[in-house]
A and B are shown apart, each in its own frame.
Chain A
Amino acid sequence: MRLYKVVLNIFIVGLFVTQSTTIAFAQSKFEIAGYVKDATNGETLIGATIRAISSKRVTQTNTYGYFSIALNSNEDSLAVSYIGFQTTYYKINTNKKSNIAIELKPLQISSKEIVITGEKSNKQITSTTMSIAEISGEKLKNLPVILGEQDVLKAITLLPGIKSGGEAGTGFYVRGGGPDQNLILMDEAVVYNPSHLFGFLSVFNSDAVKNIEIIKGGMPANYGGRLSSILNVTMREGNNQKTQFSGGVGLISSRFTVEGPILKGKSSYLISGRRTYIDVIAKPFVPENVKGNSYYFYDLNVKTNLVLDEKNRLFFSGYFGRDVLNFQSPRNKDVFFNFGWGNNTATLRWNHLFNKQLFLNTSLIYNRYDLFNDFTFGNNGFNVKSGVEDINLKMDFNWFGLNNHSIKFGYNYTFHKFQPGILSGSIGTTNLSQAINPQYAHEFAAYLADEWKISQRIALNLGLRAVAFNLVGPYDQKAYDPDTGLPTGQVKTYQSSESIAFYPVLEPRASINYLINEVSSVKASFTQTYQFLHLATTSGAQFPIDLWVPSSKKIKPQLAYQYAIGYYRNFLNDVVETSIEAYYKPMFNQIEFKPGAQLFFNQNLENEMVFGNGLSYGVEFLVRKNSGRLNGWVGYTWSRSTRQFDQLNQGQVYFYRYDRTHDMSLTLSYQLNKKWTANFVFVFGTGNAVTLPSGRYAYRFGYNITENKPELVFIDVYDKINSYRLPAYHRADVSFTYIRKKTEKWESSWNFSIYNVYNRANPYFVYFFPDVELGEVKAYMVYLFPILPSVQWNFKF
């Protein structure tokens, strides 16, 4: 109950502070505030740059498109810019007391020449934030695709410091961290498993995505809970001007979106769905003996927003997605296997403006990831279910009331429920009913952050996040014999809400920006983060069956420090941005599993874990051109990521599986003419570190009397972890987007992509085959995608 009281107290104090500040700072200086929107559909624009020309102040819109800026005089103008939109100038009307709405028009291509003048801000230079990258939904649509599917998670791996897990996988690894060390948020709701199709596609439908932000270092204090990164996916709100239908038809799935106003200009809705038809397409090609297989996935995004009045807005967004795999034995039709998994999220948000200086967002969030597994044969059968779900309440305040300060504070309370497994069913006369004890935890965080412009040259962002994680009952803590894995019979029973493990921690955050001149700056940051939730996997990748487990008495929270320093330089009137960032990230209480650990339906999972430390460091280079006929970026990362566990690899330091010495990506987009755009992607990465067997032995002796020879199986022996390298990964993709028709009422475009243009055989995995007849062992490399053309048709009306 202690945490509930803390939450309540903070809420009351928060409200008191807000009311006090309203009184204290209202009318204290000239202030202009409002929203920046897309003129065509009324969608708010995140991260738009607002520059007060005379006052020489700069700010950006927040996640809800809101901004507030203090002016030195009331004789000023605002220059508002956003990538892909025309820069708009807004003359301050000193008599206007309400919030303003600045609408930006998308860039148009004139009939005579192509003029693409995207964002020309020096945000990169002036902001204290570092190690943050954004990709807009529009940019995402222009990237080459595989199998006709745009993908958020594949797109972000084109940025420096973010590595792909391998061929076509959606797993990503940020600055040497594991896949579970990325907090993936969709409209603030945690997405525990971000992939469809066993990791080949992400759960994010590109039609419903407005913006993607990835924070890989210098983490702001309002975020926490993961060591390596925050991936913040913001869903579109829907067109509040007119009803619109859009969609796309790809090789393996199709999408359809409907959006429109509820109250024109004020409120809107969006419903977007996607389903794959792999099961239908693949059917003719599937061999007879596996005809019983079928696989499909679908997802649904909904969002609506309602402007209650000038100071209050409500948002509701939801996601429901599921993968389903069925198997029926062709020779044994009474045997049926049904396997499904998916995420559900629901986010209810209330934006409230106390005044121009104080913005509040309150969110109530529910998210769940669950897995079910039904197995039936005849009249018998059983099913296994598992999952994790959260209920989350958070309040985030933005206060612009102090000159040269932008203050954020708030709190976040999450109730976690972990259900590792429930088994039920019957086989013959035996009823099955077993459950691994569910676990419950409270996680409470409060934060305060101040972006303080100390002088014209120096800006400081200081933050402190206080977190308390409390694993609580009801729970029966069984003791196990470490040798046999069997329960000893000793059970410690925790009553409901009784504390099992309690971790109060502080996470200081700091970053500083020294402006060398108008086009260059130096930044440094320090971040301390804890992680209380851990993914139980032995493969280094994320699978549907993997479980999330909480910190406990034995499982200490993971801890990371990250030190980063960077130099930033803009060229050509801010059209070209360049940066170089170096980071050093020691990590503690890292979790691995013993070789051959049994994870599924294991009550004693903790006994399979081993604990150690990690270290990552590297240098990242980025050159980015955001505007012009030719735009894109090139990124390069040199890095190291290692692990050390006393119980693994004889205690010696070893390379992390996704350690990648060199990682490079080139992304280019070129507007050929009014109708055609060409896009090009090239990626190169050092091969993954893999563990290969150094030896083997023959075992399970038997003598085949019929053939008069011994029968043996061979078991691999491993000496060193990740001591080998797969061949380097590299690939080039091209795509052409053809706008067939674009009018007020109808848009139609085609995307022609070629994945892996030069047909590089990139390693997916390596295996060995001992050929007993020939008396030799052969090594084979499996690769997934050769040159792969695809086409996608998109429409909007």
Chain B
Amino acid sequence: MRAFILFVSCLIFASCEKEIAIEVDKVTEQYVVEASINQLFPNLNYVYITKTIDYFKPEFSLNGLKDAQVNITEGVIVGDDTLFNGTVHQFIPVTDSILPGIYINPFFQGKLNTPYLLNIELKDGSKISGSTFIGKAPVIDSLVYWYTLQDKDTNGYFWMEWKDGPEQNNYRMAVYDGFDSLLLGWGAAQRFYTFDDQLINNTSRPFRSFRPYDYGDTISIYLSSIGRKEFLFWQSFSTAVNNNGPFASPVAVKSNIKGAIGSFTGYAITQKKFIIK
């Protein structure tokens, strides 16, 4: 909403800008972890370890941490307790040519309704840990798409619905423009939505796209069920990504891991692909 207000304000008052020199303090160094596992796509099982960097440091993304020991352990739920005594999956670094700091295990496949524990030991002895849960994948009951002709545009949209159960549910959805079955990392998708069932619970949950697609566009939808703490992280992450403008205020993401900023998220994914025709 604030972004929209800013947008309108800028329309009304033609603002100007100029480059300025500004010096900021050095950042307090912290580790950052993005860990993702799911039950469907091996390419979306990865751990990315990096560090915070000073704001004006010229290198952008080349501070990934190599030489870390990364393990993900399966667990079981016994009554109210969660025991992590299952198979230990070691994640190993990929080649630097992709991105330093990325760890994968091509043989790992997440299981639905299963808890997982992440343990990371860094070269300097620092330890990072977190847990997540791959829950129940949502079932998309209906998916329709259509297009309308307007001037030279073909405006394509889609609508889908799934059943939200009586339990508390949290969702994260990624939309990828294309039929890429080798999607490597969530960041390759174009649009992300994070929402829960606070407003629509235990009933049919609709979703409607508002960005128009062109005739013939291919679309892949990844609808995932995620845990509550993971939801809080991605919700705050979304706020942080869109935090700009004159009224922006500092945002601290709500991490769900210990020893670092970031999240360990288990995705119970349902995927749909289609072509707007």
Interface residues, chain A, with chain B CB atoms under 8 Å away: 166, 168, 197-198, 200, 278, 282, 286, 290, 293, 295, 325, 327, 329, 331-333, 335, 377, 380, 423, 427-430, 432, 434, 483-486, 538-541, 543, 545, 594-596, 598, 600-601, 691-705, 710-721, 723-724, 727, 761, 764-768, 770, 772, 775-786
Contact = CB atoms under 8 A, between A and B. Distances in A.
B17 A486 contact: no
Contacts of A598: 235, 239
B206 to A, nearest CB: 4
Interface stretch (B76-84, B122-130, B247-255): B247-255
Given A538-B249, A701-B185, A705-B182, A770 B11 contact: no
Given A331-B212, A484-B232, 5 more contacts: A596-B252, A701-B102, A765-B248, A775-B58, A780-B18
27 contacts: A197-B12, A331-B153, A380-B206, A428-B159, A539-B249, A541-B247, A543-B5, A594-B252, A692-B55, A694-B24, A695-B26, A695-B27, A697-B53, A698-B61, A699-B237, A700-B34, A700-B185, A701-B99, A703-B185, A712-B187, A718-B250, A719-B27, A767-B245, A768-B55, A780-B18, A781-B18, A782-B15
Nearest to B188: A702
A483 B233 CA distance: 12
Contact of B22 (A198, A691, A697, A724): A724
Contact of A423 (B4, B199, B210): B199
B193 interface: no
A715 B241 contact: yes
Contacts of B250: 595-596, 691, 693, 716, 718, 721
Contacts of A329: 210
Interface of B: 1-2, 4-5, 7-9, 11-13, 15-22, 24-28, 30, 32, 34, 46, 48, 50-56, 58-61, 63, 98-99, 102, 150, 153, 155, 157, 159, 161, 168, 180, 182-189, 192, 198-200, 203-206, 208, 210, 212, 228-229, 232, 235-237, 239-241, 243-254, 261-262
B20 A781 contact: yes
- Count chain B CB atoms within 10 A of each CB in A601, A694, A767, A785 and give the residue with the most: A694
B53 A764 contact: no
A765 B243 CA distance: 13
B168 A780 contact: no
A430 B206 contact: yes
B187 A713 contact: yes
Nearest to B209: A332
Contacts of A718: 250, 252
A332 B24 contact: no
Contacts of A700: 34, 185-187, 192, 237
B200 A430 contact: yes
A717 B241 CA distance: 12
A423 B199 CA distance: 9
Given A430-B205, A543-B2, A595 B168 contact: no
B20 A595 contact: no
Contact of B188 (A293, A540, A703, A770): A703
Contacts of A768: 55
Contacts of A333: 150
B55 A198 contact: no
B249 A697 contact: no
A596 B236 contact: yes
B240 A596 contact: yes
A717 B22 contact: no
Nearest to B247: A539
B251 A596 contact: yes
Contacts of B200: 427, 430, 432
A541 B113 CA distance: 45
B30 A717 contact: yes
B82 to A, nearest CB: 16
8 closest A-B pairs (Cβ-Cβ)?
Answer: A695-B27, A702-B187, A702-B188, A596-B251, A765-B246, A702-B185, A539-B247, A718-B250
Nearest to A649: B250
A780 B12 contact: no
B129 to A, nearest CB: 17
B203 A711 contact: no
Nearest to B245: A765
Contacts of B28: 694-695, 717, 719
A716 B243 contact: yes
A699 B228 contact: no
Given A764-B15, A783-B16, A698 B159 contact: no
A430 B11 CA distance: 36
B226 to A, nearest CB: 13
Contact of A779 (B19, B25, B203): B19
Contacts of A428: 159, 161, 204, 206
Contacts of B187: 700-703, 710-713
B210 A696 contact: no
A429 B204 contact: yes
Contacts of B180: 705
A721 to B, nearest CB: 7
Contact of A781 (B17, B236, B243): B17
Contact of B25 (A697, A716, A720, A780): A720
Contacts of A713: 187, 241
Contact of A701 (B16, B168, B186): B186
Nearest to A281: B12
Contacts of B185: 700-703, 710-711
Contacts of B228: 484-486
A766 B55 CA distance: 14
B54 A712 contact: no
B184 A776 contact: no
Contacts of A486: 168, 228
Contact of B232 (A295, A485, A778, A782): A485
Contacts of A781: 17-20
